[in-house]
Structure 1
């Protein structure tokens, strides 16, 4: 048979010589040696996907998901991590994501992640196209691991998860390189603020090459996602593309990414086949989806008051609005579902430690804090539904509605319990914070601690609705406002000093500093504190999510006029009129619509007026113009928030207030 051959010796000693004169000799015995050959010409491998191994069939080993499985079964369980140590590589460091242990950079060595935070990773190293591509990726890793970017996050997403996933996934890697190239372009610019830079239409200098390389990598990631779509790629790519568009100041595209990402997350947590989709993310998908949900939960609150076009063009987040309606969900119930995907640690104040040893330990408390905020929004929604005050247009009914929302016994009890937990949290964090404040002011830990303290103070102040019910309780918040302003001064100075070489490091998708400064500039009863908050916004170097910093400053500046025209009557009368201030953003944040009460000079009666202003791109002062009331004279913000849930601009069902 062809499998075996007789190997005969070819040496002279093995030859048979015939000689007639010689005596006949016995022929030598020739041995046949059987050699077993390999059944194939290549080494047998054991690197197939988990699904193919279970089914005992050949795997085509496509990454990140097997093509055979996708074609026959619709989903693939991915690949087991290879625990063999690879040879050292000159490439960028890979990070081992284990949320239960310290984060340690490894050079081309991949460890198995914790079962509670393990993703399905394709760990085969893929070479970068050139040195520029590698440097762009390294720039990306340095950018997302900065303290401003990680402010108010649990850290794993930016410091470990996204760098590791992007390093080992072609689609995500292209998006990461796009962000890195854009960061290099910012670093080589002569500007010190994100707001002062205009992206080029055509290359006018050698440095612009990095910008157009960023756009090219961005397009590559979209093409690869279209060719081979997967749930894991879609979820994490939504974060990276949002980051890219926010970084280059394209808020319209950023809003689109928020809209589609929230629709995707809603499908992942509510659809009947949600468990199949979640299985594509990781063996234990909840920590994965929770890390991403944390980002979009924060951005959803911003996007609810930002219209892509004008108010009458349709609701904010139109895709999400349709899916909420089809799944019988509201924005608040959806936010609660997202919060439930996050860590269940520290559910109650009793589980809070008496003292914190590290900032990482303190960060792990934030999921519980956000769950509380989402729960309070749901309580306020329920109170409004049962109040019987829907469709209120007259001042008496609207005032009654405000008292019901801010002074309802359920809200008061809820906020009192939350206040107690925040007091305990503050007692445990204060010693660690004071210790870090004595360290080097130039260290990243110093700025990170300041930012965490700012986030804590923001939640502590603005999550106490009963404090805003009357002028006296609002004035009692002034010392807390002053502390917040002091922290904001330190944070902005430290940020300018640490990141003066690259304004891209001022971006954060989860920091709420600029928004809280706006609320202080409008709601604090001390005019000096209000003005100080306004000037910080004007010089603010950062970019917090999709807010336009120039628009926030224009609002704070216009509020000085609103305060002045309402400075008539008793403090409580003034405060009740100031309740009627409302604002929304149109044209993706480049236009502001503001409502407030003003006394008619002829009739001397107070009436609701509406103004709008386009925000100049050159940093000039906005010009406010009076316009007719949009839709009706009731609480506009209730209609706008409900529009996200129902797709109807006049259903008048509240989802919450901007502050």
Structure 2
């Protein structure tokens, strides 16, 4: 008999001797039951593992430790080899008590836990921490310190439970949200606004709680007790706080006085923060709606200023807020161009000829500032180069959007050839930007350049290369034309290697200072970089989120459009190992889509009817290289065979051996060229419907250059889950 939880066995009941003698003969007649064969379990808390007893692995303390009145010191993390690489997930919402493999894992309420009694010393320490207001962070002294954060006063109208998340946002989250580039918006403007605007303050606390959720969700296992266990420091508690504060921010926006001149600025800033929150949790549709609302409000405020006939066409809000909306619009537009969302989740930078009044994007116009400077001969700083690229990229998007609206081709993502001359100026501007940026690109490895600045330079160059490829291919209806950009694809991968490699080395030095005791070296993955680049597997990097774009979109372009197998594999490996979400771009989703496209395009050719598999393999390759000779393809010619049918076999065998030796010698002297994927096997993404919270994607592939409504014989549809 066992207890309710099956952990305790009932004590044996004394049996009288008479009863024992009466049952001895019956017991002897029964065959002894063999020991049940069960797999050996190596998990359990540290105490149970030392005592070599079975642990029920209850949290916060196992039953054995409670019964023996011992302090449960926690559970050791499993080996990295025991956790498949694909299990690294970015979605910050923690799993509840239900198993992770069930569909209700994200909807089941958290289990009811008994209250945990803290020692009196811990209670006093915890109460003191809640009563203490957030302190001003110290200025970092390391050379790679980010832009100094704004230091708000300690008299913010904020309670103790919110103060911890506000401090986390101020010290850590603001820098993470800015990505690879310094941002005055995150480090100063948002912090200042928290003093006077309740909606902004709640949104900041929500993002701080969301980052804490991500940190606790990445533990192994999540919520594992330790020597300084805190009953409120678990992923689900942080998640509840994040959702609660998000709701408070939305309610506070409703109560904002619309007659106040500051109301528009508050709503615009809140749209940015809430869009980041929605992107963080994987709700890209709601994030797009937030961006649409912000762009619509920005255009409305601009129209009001134009109607006021002001002497100077000044912007209604500061330039940095305009820049944030420009980047959010570029981000959402690139997301739509890659995955082809349906209405109304489409960002429009220009008013369509026939606007749908029911679409939230009908009144949206360009967010770019009215003050645009020409591209100089040399950029003075990385900030100037970034602003110039954002402006140029937004202009290109508006051009293509306008041309697609008036073009009658009906072909997805392809402009008519006669419009090429209208877009020739953008080709010149992209080249001019690259020339002006070359001297900054060359200085990224110079002494004194911080790691953040080095990464920002590399990422910005990746943007430029990606933009050049995609814009030039806007006028091409053949996937074969992407082969002319192989060198560009290689440059993107090389730059991404620098970024991920530097991040991995810093993370390894922080998490595992002594490599001899590193627990992150057991993951067996295929290395696509030729050996000697173990840090590119990014074993020490934790899942991360930034509000700005980085390496994911350029690597996705390489992984889906580059048909050089080695370069494509490298891009996919970097996406898989990076484990990051940049705005709405998720590295796990893009890696899995690219893997499926690669499998389709590189699947082996099936033999034609009446042809043996050996004959199919002996055909010349599409690259024109010599096929490897095999026994099944030896040609005996018209020579008559001798007795037994093998008189000429020795001669033929010697000829085949000579041919094989010549083939090997040719391969050593001149390596085989990469196999060219024919046009009939190449596909493109036609549509993707996905949910990052539920971790699935419905992907549809098809033919490039096919008119809408035409039967597509290369249509492939699949559901990807992770």
Matched residue, 2:207:
179
TM-score after normalising by structure 2:
0.54
Q: Where do 5+ consecutive residues of structure 2 fail to align? A: 1-132, 140-145, 224-229, 258-262, 512-539, 607-620, 624-675, 705-710
Matched residue, 2:654:
none
Corresponding position: 1:595 with 2:701: yes
User: Distance between the aligned counterparts of 1:217 and 1:243, measured in 2?
Assistant: 14
2:721 aligned residue (609, 615, 618): 615
Summarize deviations over 1:404-449 as a string: whole Å, max 9, x none: x3561422x3454323322332222222232232236863222222
Matched residue, 2:268:
235
Aligned counterparts, 1:439-588, within 5 A: 439=447, 443-465=451-473, 468-470=476-478, 473-498=481-506, 506-511=544-549, 513-564=551-602, 574-575=678-679, 578=682, 581-587=685-691
| Greater relative CO, 1 or 2 (CA 8 Å, sep 6+) | 1
User: Distance between the aligned counterparts of 1:331 and 1:225, measured in 2?
Assistant: 19
Summarize deviations over 1:373-400 as a string: whole Å, max 9, x none: 2233135315523xxx44xxxxxxx6xx
User: Distance between the aligned counterparts of 1:179 and 1:462, measured in 2?
Assistant: 34
1:222 aligned residue (250, 253, 260): 250
Indicate how the Cα distance of structure 1 residues 536 and 561 shifts in structure 2: closer, same or farther if over 3 A, else same: same
1:344 aligned residue (355, 363, 371): 371
Corresponding position: 1:293 with 2:316: no
User: Distance between the aligned counterparts of 1:442 and 1:379, measured in 2?
Assistant: 41
User: Distance between the aligned counterparts of 1:305 and 1:355, measured in 2?
Assistant: 31
Matched residue, 1:48:
none
2:288 aligned residue (258, 261, 266): 258
Post-superposition shift, 1:483? Answer: 0.8
User: Distance between the aligned counterparts of 2:200 and 2:292, measured in 1?
Assistant: 19
RMSD of aligned C-alpha atoms? 4.7
Summarize deviations over 1:545-583 as a string: whole Å, max 9, x none: 223433322211111232135979989993376366523
Indicate how the Cα distance of structure 1 residues 606 and 294 shifts in structure 2: closer, same or farther if over 3 A, else same: closer
Matched residue, 1:41:
none
Deviates more, 1:136-145 or 1:365-374: 136-145
Indicate how the Cα distance of structure 1 residues 331 and 261 shifts in structure 2: closer, same or farther if over 3 A, else same: closer
Indicate how the Cα distance of structure 1 residues 139 and 168 shifts in structure 2: closer, same or farther if over 3 A, else same: farther
Indicate how the Cα distance of structure 1 residues 533 and 103 shifts in structure 2: closer, same or farther if over 3 A, else same: closer
User: Distance between the aligned counterparts of 2:387 and 2:499, measured in 1?
Assistant: 22
Summarize deviations over 1:263-291 as a string: whole Å, max 9, x none: 34225415897449999xx9833736523
User: Distance between the aligned counterparts of 1:434 and 1:552, measured in 2?
Assistant: 30
Question: Equivalent residue of 1:607, what SS?
Answer: coil
TM-score after normalising by structure 1:
0.59
Question: Equivalent residue of 1:315, what SS?
Answer: coil
Post-superposition shift, 1:368? Answer: 2.2
Q: Is the 8 A contact 2:275 2:287 kept in 1?
A: yes
User: Distance between the aligned counterparts of 2:482 and 2:438, measured in 1?
Assistant: 25
Question: Equivalent residue of 1:436, what SS?
Answer: coil
Q: Is the 8 A contact 1:268 1:274 kept in 2?
A: no
Aligned counterparts, 1:347-426, within 5 A: 348-349=374-375, 352=376, 354-382=377-405, 384-385=407-408, 389-390=409-410, 405=414, 408-411=417-420, 413-426=421-434
User: Distance between the aligned counterparts of 1:319 and 1:462, measured in 2?
Assistant: 18
Post-superposition shift, 1:527? Answer: 1.8
Summarize deviations over 1:101-142 as a string: whole Å, max 9, x none: x98766569xxxxxxxxxxxxxx9534323x53442232234
Question: Equivalent residue of 1:464, what SS?
Answer: helix
Post-superposition shift, 1:90? Answer: 8.1
Post-superposition shift, 1:486? Answer: 0.8
Post-superposition shift, 1:92? Answer: 4.3
User: Distance between the aligned counterparts of 2:471 and 2:362, measured in 1?
Assistant: 18
Question: Equivalent residue of 1:476, what SS?
Answer: helix
Question: Equivalent residue of 2:716, what SS?
Answer: strand
User: Distance between the aligned counterparts of 1:539 and 1:614, measured in 2?
Assistant: 18
Indicate how the Cα distance of structure 1 residues 272 and 174 shifts in structure 2: closer, same or farther if over 3 A, else same: closer
Question: Equivalent residue of 1:539, what SS?
Answer: helix
1:140 aligned residue (159, 169, 182): 169
Q: Is the 8 A contact 2:404 2:415 kept in 1?
A: no
Q: Is the 8 A contact 2:462 2:551 kept in 1?
A: yes
Indicate how the Cα distance of structure 1 residues 575 and 509 shifts in structure 2: closer, same or farther if over 3 A, else same: farther
Indicate how the Cα distance of structure 1 residues 440 and 306 shifts in structure 2: closer, same or farther if over 3 A, else same: same
- How many residues end up aligned between the 2 structures? 463
Matched residue, 1:166:
194
Q: Where do 5+ consecutive residues of structure 1 fail to align? A: 1-88, 96-101, 110-123, 391-397, 599-604, 617-659
User: Distance between the aligned counterparts of 2:574 and 2:430, measured in 1?
Assistant: 26
Q: Is the 8 A contact 2:552 2:575 kept in 1?
A: yes
User: Distance between the aligned counterparts of 2:199 and 2:568, measured in 1?
Assistant: 46
Summarize deviations over 1:63-111 as a string: whole Å, max 9, x none: xxxxxxxxxxxxxxxxxxxxxxxxxx9864899xxxxxx98766569xx
Question: Equivalent residue of 1:128, what SS?
Answer: coil
Q: Is the 8 A contact 1:263 1:320 kept in 2?
A: no
Post-superposition shift, 1:366? Answer: 2.5
Indicate how the Cα distance of structure 1 residues 540 and 162 shifts in structure 2: closer, same or farther if over 3 A, else same: same
Question: Equivalent residue of 1:146, what SS?
Answer: helix
